[in-house]
A and B are shown apart, each in its own frame.
Chain A
């Protein structure tokens, strides 16, 4: 480092001292990058120069003379882009610390369809809970959750009267399906054509988004299941039907239009579930054989999805 009038190396932070032209030139060439700095042009290591530059406008200005204008312009553009991309959210930083790759988090955060999916999940769950509460309050459905007071029989599983839970049981898996469908339906993704033409695997993209949407929707539905009066195992019993329904919809989307797949899956769920509700046995959904059936559908759906995953690579333009 030099003073304005003399050459020499002095400790940093001294306001009277400035980096010499040789030091700045070496730094601009990227040759002041060794910590010991012993063999550098002016003996100043990169960290030392950087620390000084951060405090000294005069040396920053002098440095620009040693950098090609194109490189300066390029660096300025990169800085502008990084500034435009903004700071990371706390959630993203926390997930990053947990080992999630930055680009995956950015992909998820930037996927607009997922915002819709999350919004749908929240609104749906709140709406069902409000509806359930209102229906019980005004006596449209019998109140539930008053303990194991009834013997097992038609309409009851494990001693619980199920008809009061019918709306929730009917709708909860559909909410999960809606959340996932919003994450993969082309209608909610205006940049779909670009995504199809990108080397990033469409199937991988689908899985990442689906898992994310599924996770959010499931967490909400399961949390709501704890709030709704009913058997303690209800949240767990809802998992398999929800997962099976989504796996079926995704597998069907490899064969037919994804919108049709989502609608068909919804109808296939709503039909039997409505029948069970009308018959006052909605908790049969939680019965072991029904759960086994859901597990079978889930496995079959995943298998079809894996075998036919190539359909997600071509896009949905046929």
Chain B
């Protein structure tokens, strides 16, 4: 069975010809993609359309054209949209907390919105997600008293309520310190039930660490879809190291070893090529697309 056939048969979420405009701005331009179970990383600069794409996948935003299906369900149908939402966990980029809520009160509120009406089950579910993000000792704390990182973890916690099959996380690691980022990697990679997770982030190393698949979105279009290794491989032969800065490189920086690392299309003859990373592949793609 070739890869294309495999993709068709296992795709949990399909996006075909998706377009969305905000006035004169084209946020999404005929996006086609498939998402399988497991974690898919979504990379792209600010304004590339990531948040719009995620909000459409989360059924909170209506596309101008194109079609989305999740688990075979079409969100244009009210009943099917509701069924998708029953299986959905969504962390928007700007969550918008009710600041007077306590941590437990907020999660209890979201659990009710997720149709967990039984009080006992709600308490169990709230306790479960609090433990998952390490906030169980903060249940009584008011949200306004939490640090930015804790609020972000609370955002992840609310998305995990109800053990969703489709988890859409818009920059979940923004504002987290290194340890918290590693813990969030641990959490996301160990989710039970093998859900479909879409993770939008600016952290290429998060993608390389936990995502079997990565999508690069530039100017509202999908410019790459594949594995992190494949994305890194697109930069093969275009990353080199040197003792001096090279003006031919698109981007250069001096490393801790005091040598310059260059990323560009035309390495000089005899350059010391170095193994590319996901970040290098992404930089070259976005440069080629003129997104930066």
Contact = CB atoms under 8 A, between A and B. Distances in A.
Interface of A: 73-74, 77-78, 80-86, 101-103, 106-107, 110, 112, 189-201, 205, 310, 313-315, 317-318
Contact of A198 (B62, B85, B108, B131): B85
Given A81-B126, A84-B103, A193-B60, 20 more contacts: A80-B140, A81-B104, A84-B104, A84-B139, A85-B102, A85-B104, A106-B112, A110-B98, A189-B96, A194-B113, A197-B60, A197-B88, A198-B110, A199-B114, A200-B112, A314-B60, A314-B61, A315-B61, A317-B61, A318-B62
B108 A106 contact: yes
Label chain A's interface by main secondary structure: helix
Nearest to A106: B112
Contacts of A82: 123
A194 B110 contact: yes
Label chain B's interface by main secondary structure: helix
A84 B140 contact: yes
Interface of B: 55, 58-62, 78, 81-83, 85-86, 88, 90, 92, 94-105, 108-110, 112-115, 117, 119, 122-124, 126-128, 130-131, 136-137, 139-140, 158
B55 A199 contact: no
Contact of B96 (A84, A191, A313): A191
B127 A313 contact: no
Contacts of B126: 81
Interface centre among B60, B81, B115, B131 (most CB of A within 10 A): B60
Contact of A80 (B58, B127, B158): B127
A251 B136 CA distance: 43
B108 A192 contact: no
Nearest to B59: A197
B81 A194 contact: no
B60 A107 contact: no
B140 A83 contact: yes
8 contacts: A83-B139, A85-B108, A102-B119, A110-B98, A194-B92, A195-B113, A199-B88, A317-B61
A189 B95 CA distance: 11
Contacts of B110: 191, 194, 198
Nearest to A193: B92
A199 B139 contact: no
Given A77-B131, A199-B85, A194 B90 contact: yes
Given A77-B131, A84-B139, A315-B60, A190 B97 contact: yes
A199 B115 contact: yes
B136 A191 contact: no
Given A106-B112, A110-B105, A198-B114, A78 B60 contact: no
B94 A313 contact: no
A190 B96 contact: yes
Contacts of B117: 101-103
